[in-house]
Amino acid sequence: MRPNRAVLLAVACLGQFMVLLDSTIVGAALPDMQRRLHTGLTGLQWIVDAYVLLVAMLLLSGGVFADRFGRKRVFLAGVAVFTAASVLCAVAPSIGWLIAGRVAQGVGAAALSPASLALLAAAYPVAQERVKAIGLWAGFSGIGLAAGPLAGGVLVETFGWPAIFLVNAPIGVLLLLAGLRVLGESRNPGAPAIDVPGTVLSVLGVGALTYGLIEGGSRGWTSPVILGTFAAAVLVLAVFVVVERRRPAPMLPLRLFRQRLFTVSNTAMVVVGFALMGSSFFFSQFFVYVQGSSVLLAGLQTLPATLAMVVVSPFAGRFAARYGFRIVVTIGLALAGVGLLTLGLTHADTGYANVWWRLAIIGIGFALTMSPLTGAAIQAVSPQEGGLASGVSSTTRQIGAVLGVAVLGAVVRTREAGGASFEAGLDSAFVVAGVVTLAGAVLTGLWLVRSRSAEVAAPGTRPAGSATATTPS
């Protein structure tokens, strides 16, 4: 490995590490944010979903931007925006400013993450070397996922929630300085034009749906504002479908969904994002508010889920190549669903010895799904469209994450509005997530198949799937 490429690899990995660290470190700080910012569950949902929504809707466009305008330029712009937004979050005087900072963070992450992977693909044209580089990129991302809860607990307990955002500042400055010196510019002159109408409509449509789901619990599900929001979401998303069908280079080619393998794999990926992000949103809150743990201890107690994902994820692609997408994904979803259902049976007096293994099962289950589902989506399309399929798979998971936080939060608020305790609301949310995940297992068990040859992942598809499985969530 030549020194310049080794440094480039380190810069790309560190950028993705920062994004993934931020995606899990925030969960550990939610209880402290709620107390210090005097906000309720709705505010916490917006803190998470404002970020995930922008990442979900801009991720595909971010990759096109990198190819069209320069991978180095877009990567550094993403780092700069993400770093500045992190500082804004840290000094935010109110929940509104914090949410605005999270929106800006999402924009930065949607540029930074795909550009970092594009830089590696351009720097390593030889397939075998590229596979190793992307494997390191994905592995380093996994470290960020695992480090988030523990780092968040330590920082919040010592300095308060602003510290989880300030930690991004020195990393961002280091990335900018190193990137300016070592990164070479590259672009694809034949890259498609940016689908501005599709991008704007997708943000507005999914954003309106998210607003209705999050605010419906407090404003009332039958209030004119909420009903109007849902109607607007349906209308805008319908227009989005019409526009995407007519554009020569749409951000989301709807024709890909004519392939059953592609449609089923992405539907299952929505389920993964929904249940994984929606349930993990409540992990720290369960330990702090239900079981009385400190923020630091809660961060440690959530580790079994993330560690299980980091350990098992590298093997998921190999299992899929050996046993087929359908078997591995269905087993994974079934395990995760059972784990979530059993988590819904825990209470304030349930000892941690009877909780940690439930989190581990959830982590193992979801780890078995993400890389194979991305591999299935890639296998369903032509080799030239593998990168697009991988990006769509990541986007559908992010959309599921947005909906998971919104819907499961609505479940908790609805139970509380009916007189139930927060603990009972959490139990219901975990059960709903488990039922949805098991329904996803039935879906994949029946229909995640095209042919035996389509089920066996080609050597080049597994790293792409693994890499995508660790993009922001």
pLDDT at site 43:
94
Question: Taking the CB of residue 170, how many other CB atoms lie within 10 A of it?
Answer: 10
Q: Is the pLDDT of residue 464 over 60?
A: no
Tokens read off for 223? 């209030």
- In this chain, the answer to whether the domains covering 1-183 and 253-449 adopt an identical fold is yes
pTM over 0.85: yes
Q: Is the pLDDT of residue 468 over 60?
A: no
The domains of the chain are located at: 1-183, 194-251, 253-449
Residue 93: C-alpha distances to residues 83, 90, 340 (Å) = 18, 9, 36
Please name which of 354, 350, 363, 337 lies closest in space to residue 431, comparing C-alpha atoms. Answer: 337
DSSP 290: I
Cβ–Cβ under 8 Å, residues 374 and 398: no
Could you read off the pLDDT of 317-337 as tens digits, one per residue?
A: 889 989 999 999 999 999 999
Distance CA 468, CA 75 (A): 17
Residue 233 identity: A
Distance CA 237, CA 93 (A): 34
Picking from 289-298, 382-391, 399-408, which range would have the lowest pLDDT averaged per residue?
382-391
Q: Is the pLDDT of residue 134 over 50?
A: yes
Q: Which range, 63-67, 304-308, 464-468, has the best average confidence (pLDDT)?
A: 304-308
Across residues 13-17, what is the average pLDDT? 89
pLDDT at site 305:
94
Please name which of 149, 153, 36 lies closest in space to residue 90, comparing C-alpha atoms. Answer: 36
Picking from 33-47, 182-196, 222-236, 293-307, which range would have the lowest pLDDT averaged per residue?
182-196
Homologous superfamily (CATH) for 1-183: MFS general substrate transporter like domains (1.20.1250.20)
Cβ–Cβ under 8 Å, residues 467 and 142: no
Across residues 380-392, what is the average pLDDT? 81
pLDDT at site 74:
93
Confidence of residue 450 (pLDDT cuts 50, 70, 90): low
Length of the chain: 473
- 203-231 as b/e: b if 16+ CB within 10 A: bbbbbbbbbbbbbbbeeeeeeeebeebbe
Pick 141 or 298 by higher pLDDT.
298
Q: How many CA atoms lie within 13 A of 97 on its CB side?
A: 11
Could you read off the pLDDT of 350-376 as tens digits, one per residue?
A: 999 999 999 999 999 999 999 899 889
pLDDT at site 66:
87
Q: Which range, 132-141, 410-419, 426-435, has the best average confidence (pLDDT)?
A: 426-435
Question: Taking the CB of residue 2, how many other CB atoms lie within 10 A of it?
Answer: 8
Q: Is the pLDDT of residue 132 over 50?
A: yes
Tokens read off for 98? 């914090």
Q: Is the pLDDT of residue 453 over 70?
A: no
pLDDT at site 275:
96
Residue 74 identity: V
Cβ–Cβ under 8 Å, residues 271 and 408: no
pLDDT at site 139:
73
Across residues 300-323, what is the average pLDDT? 90
pLDDT at site 136:
77
Residue 207 identity: G
Across residues 145-153, what is the average pLDDT? 86
pLDDT at site 466:
37
pLDDT at site 211:
93
Confidence of residue 469 (pLDDT cuts 50, 70, 90): very low
Distance CA 296, CA 288 (A): 10
Across residues 291-298, what is the average pLDDT? 93
Distance CA 352, CA 361 (A): 14
Q: Is the pLDDT of residue 459 over 70?
A: no
Homologous superfamily (CATH) for 253-449: MFS general substrate transporter like domains (1.20.1250.20)
Q: Which range, 13-27, 55-69, 321-335, has the best average confidence (pLDDT)?
A: 321-335
